[in-house]
Amino acid sequence: MTPEEETEFARRRKARNWVVAGTLLFFVILFYAITIVRIGNPG
């Protein structure tokens, strides 16, 4: 693999990691919001 290919591979991996982290954060916030709504509105 050439240095250019390695750099591109690392860049894509980093971008993919950010997407995964963002998705996880979205679901954490979503479940937190759902929990707060359910606790605040019993029944």
pLDDT band (50, 70, 90) for residue 36: very high
pLDDT band (50, 70, 90) for residue 18: very high
This prediction has a pTM of 0.73
Note the pLDDT of residue 1. 85
CA angle, 35 as apex, 27 and 25 as ends, to 5°?
Answer: 20
Q: Is-contact 1 9, C-beta < 8 A?
A: yes
Give the closest residue to 4 by CA, choosing from 33, 12, 36, 22.
12
pLDDT band (50, 70, 90) for residue 7: very high
